[in-house]
Amino acid sequence: MKFVALRLVRCLGIFVFCLAARDARAQSASLSGFATDRTTGQPLELVSISLRGTGGATRTTVSGRDGAYTMPGLTPGRYVLQATYIGYAAYTDSLELAPGERQLQDIRLEPTETRLGEAVVESERTNGAARVTAGQQVIRPADVELIPAPDLSADLINYLTTVPGVVSTGDRGGLLYVRGGEPSQNLVLLDGMPIYQPFHILGFYSSFPAEIMNRADLYAGGFGARFGGRISSVLDVVSRNGNEYAYAGTATASPFMSSATLEGPIVRGQFSFLASARASVIEQAAEPLLHENLPFSFGDAFVKLQGRLHARGRIEIMGLNTYDRGTVGEDTGGQPPDQFRWRNQAVGVRYIVLPKSLPVTAVARASYSLLRSEQGPKDQPYRISNVRSVTTAIEGTFVSRRMTMDAGWIIQANTLHDELGGTFQGLELRESDFLSSAMYVEPEIDLGAGFNIRPGIRMQFYHVRFDPYLEPRLRVVWKHGVHQVSAAAGVYHQEIVGISDRRDAASVFTVWAGVPTADEAPKDVRSGRLSKAVHTILGYQVSPTKWLDLSIEGFHKEMGNLFVPEWTPFPRLTTRVQPARGRSSGFDVRVEFRPGPFYGYVTYGYAQTIYQAEQANLIYWYGVESMRYRPPHDRRHQVNALLTTTLAGVDLSVRWAFGSGLPFSRALGFDGFVLLDDVMDLSKAPTSRRVIYERPYNGLLPTYHRLDLSIERTINLRPVQLTLQGSLINVYDRRNIFYLDVFTLQRVDQLPIIPSFGIKLAF
């Protein structure tokens, strides 16, 4: 293993050296730069850039995520440079490259009046409900804004809950399960900063308002070597830059949330800022609408400064602060409900540079993330779980004529701090500091005839040992006309796990801990049996007409060394864990259509997730040593439908969601228990209430379905734009169950019909 890792590192070094040496030897020239929007300074990704030489030979490339492009190995001479991008006027320029010259040429594209949605060239579309490539879906702010929500502060989570394979706990709690994985197995990044609990306590909101988004990539599985440390999915959110040339801002108000954004130049054309702040008002304003107490308070603030440090380098500095407070259950037996509080804080810096000496787009980044979560009374929380992580990374995209290669080196230090009172005492916590590093190499090779292959390898070093976990990854795409076949596979490990008591759907408290071990003495992480998953995905996509996209994708996840809460008959929360393994498989079918003034999609997801747990007392309970069961997030069927249109200047949007019932554990009855372990006076013996369970998760909750609609009208009142919105969530007032406490038989439903209205001012 050690030799394989060394060899890979050596190969990478040789590759980079060869690229540099070849260019130097041939005295060839190179061209690089940034592609941006001329009016805002926003980096533009996927701009098609071509160079046509005087002999007619043409080289083409596309800009990357930061708008950067590199074209190495060019023959010195005169060229015509052309850049095209959807919704922008074509850019043309001529240039002369001298032998050995490393010329920098920025491309600033002028937007045209044509709206993006109307001028999409099908082959260049990357986002859309049916545009899924081997588990990866690109989400743009425009996609998010289509989903009906109780206010005008469009939020990424509302889109995520329409994606087949993504199961949410409902409209409160803020937990997402992706294709059989658990919430703590999802890696959520904002500009490379890990965010540990990114979804707000009310299910319509997350830390990611559309106002700050540039794009988000959801990898429901099969993610590439760039990502690691989690075994289920990746949500990689990239924020947009503030406008470099003009000030702009928005302010929204609704009974649920108030928000404001402001952006503008710090140094015109060079540095800009973007600031966003949101605060819930639901506690005060929504109660009269719903006639229901909604004890939630949450909000978030995001700031981004970015600019050009020099001709070849850009810098971005980001900061995020979120807070949540609320109860998700109800009073139980006169006891006050548990209050949950959590706060995410993250700061990060990214430096993007196009080095003169190498055909590389390099990114150096560092970030600090903190999650503080508490359960219990405000001044005396009885459970605390904090995660601090410091991440540094150097990553690069190396470009040659026939392939590009992503490579990087990441170091992450995590500090976990847990104070667990009550019934957590049985949880075995390992050391609280975790240092890990990872190296990855992932070339992207164009094999011709529409084949594109991305084999990757990630070497994950836990505790900085030199025996890495090798995680091979593979992504393959074959495009032929309107058809696309894609596949992905990979091996994933996770060292830090989140443990919650899933018997209780209302418990949003997650303990972050190292994988439990039977013996604390060995420091070798290999004895800790890291959680592991193997993913395989196969998908097919077709666009038979300009207004129709269809896709179907199957997946399988094999998960090992999972840690699930053990079953106990005592009516209390527990995070004592038992080992388990699991598998999840299923498929998604997506149909996206854009006929005339309509846009919409229908998605169906089928998933089957089975866990097999081993627990010492199972043999006494059910007569078996291990038990197969459906975990409580095993939603078998999901349907999501969205229809939007614009009529007489009014935007209409309707969404219907359906989910089959989730498993839960039924009780046969309740009694009491006396621990008879000595000769004693039984009148003084301690007793406990007890649940006589049926087999775990043998019951099914009722199905979930909900219809939402919203109407929006934007009025141009120069210099400001006024948008008015009316919305109805849960139009037919379905009693969707959120939480069923089998201990108290208390049922907590999701929100009833919610009429809401919103107002937005933009300048």
Partner 1 sequence: MHPLRRVAAILTLAITAGLLGTGCEENVDPVLGIDLPYSVYALFTPALDTQWVRVFPIEGTLKVRTKEKLDATVTSTDVTTGEKRVWTDSLIEGPTGLFEHGYWSDFRAEYGHRYELEVTRSDGATSSATTAVPAQVIASIDPTILAPQVVVPYRLQTDAKHLLEVEVTYQIIRSTDPRSPTGTLGELITLPYDDAVQPVDGGWMVLVDLTTDFDRLRSELVKEERYDPAFGIAIVRVAIDLIVASEEWAPPGGVFDPTIIGLPNALTNVQNGFGLVVSGFRLHNEFVPTDDESKQAGFRPLSQV
Where along the sequence are the contacts to partner 1 (CB under 8 A)? 333-334, 566, 568-571, 616-617, 620-621, 639, 658, 660-661, 664, 666-683, 685-692, 694, 699, 701-703, 705, 734-735, 737, 740, 742-745, 747
Compare residues 118 and 677 and give the one whose CB is closer to partner 1.
677
Task: Sort 744 into a burial class: Cβ within 10 Å, 0-12 / 13-18 / 19+.
Answer: middle
CB-CB neighbours of 97 under 10 Å: 22
Q: Residues of 33-53 as b/e, b for ≥16 C-beta within 10 angstroms?
A: bbbbbbebbbbbbebbbbbbb
CB of 603 to partner 1, least distance (A): 14
Alpha helical stretches, state H, 27-145: 141-145
- Residue 423 CB neighbour total at 10 angstroms: 17
Beta-sheet strands, E only, within 311-402:
313-326, 340-353, 360-375, 383-399
Q: Of 3 and 620, which CB lies nearer to partner 1 in the complex structure? A: 620
CB of 738 to partner 1, least distance (A): 12
- The tokens describing 681, both together, are 């006076």
Cβ contacts of residue 533 below 8 Å, gap of 6+?
181, 185, 231, 232, 491, 492, 494, 557, 558, 559, 560
Of 134 and 505, the one with the shorter C-beta distance to partner 1 is 505
Cα 75 versus chain centre, distance: 42
| Nearest distance in Å: CB 660, partner 1 | 7
Which residue lies nearer to partner 1 by CB, 334 or 719? 334
Nearest approach, Cβ of residue 528 and partner 1 (Å): 23
Cβ nearer to partner 1, comparing 288 with 672 = 672
CB of 696 to partner 1, least distance (A): 13
> Using DSSP, how many helices (H) and how many strands (E) does the chain show?
6, 47
What is the spatial distance between Cα 608 and Cα 543, in angstroms, rounded to a whole number? 28
61 vs 603, beta carbon nearer partner 1? 603
> Is the Cβ–Cβ distance between 90 and 107 less than 8 Å?
no
- Measured from the CB atom, the residue of 13 and 544 that comes closer to partner 1 is 544
Minimum CB–partner distance for residue 503 and partner 1 (Å): 12
Please identify, using beta-carbon distances, which residue of 15 and 382 lies nearer to partner 1. Answer: 382
Please tell me whether residue 156 adopts helix, strand or coil conformation: helix
Nearest-approach distance from CB 1 to partner 1, in angstroms:
38
CA dist 674 → 22, 616, 681, 688, 689 (Å)? 80, 21, 12, 7, 9
- Residue 11: helix, strand or coil by DSSP? helix
For residue 648, give the nearest of 711, 585, 558, 741 by alpha carbon: 711
With CA atoms as reference, report the closest residue to 452 among 62, 34, 67, 127: 62
Phi, psi of 211, rounded to the nearest 5 degrees: -60, -30
Task: Give least dist CB 629 to partner 1, A.
Answer: 16
- Residue 178, classified by CB atoms within 10 Å of its CB into exposed (0-12), middle (13-18) or buried (19+), is buried
Residue 347 near residue 370 (C-beta atoms within 8 A): no
User: Cβ closer to partner 1: 341 or 502?
Assistant: 502
Q: Given the complex with partner 1, which of 591 and 762 has the nearer CB atom?
A: 591
As measured in angstroms, the least distance from the Cβ of 573 to partner 1 is 14
Nearest to 141 by CA among 155, 129, 160: 155
Which residue lies nearer to partner 1 by CB, 93 or 671? 671
Give how far the C-alpha of residue 444 lies from the chain's centroid of Cα atoms, to the nearest Å: 23
Measured at the CA of 175, the angle between CA 173 and CA 178, to 5 degrees, comes to: 155
Q: What is the dihedral of CA 77, 80, 86, 89, to 10 degrees?
A: 140
Residue (595 or 702) nearer to partner 1, CB: 702
Least distance in angstroms from the C-beta of 656 to partner 1: 10
Asked if residue 66 lies in contact with residue 352, where contact means CB atoms within 8 angstroms, the answer is: yes
Q: How many residues does the chain have?
A: 763
Residue 426 has what DSSP assignment?
A: G
Exposure class string for 463-483: b at 16+ Cβ within 10 A, else e: beeeebbebebbbbbbbeebe
Amino acid identity of 39? Answer: T
Task: Work out how close the CB of 682 gets to partner 1 at its nearest, in angstroms, rounded to a whole number.
Answer: 4
> Minimum distance from CB of 637 to partner 1 (Å)?
9
Report the residue number, 342 or 629, with the smaller CB distance to partner 1. Answer: 629
Tell the smallest beta-carbon distance from residue 618 to partner 1 (Å): 9
Comparing CB distances to partner 1, the nearer of 34 and 738 is 738
Compute the least distance from the CB of residue 547 to partner 1, in Å.
20
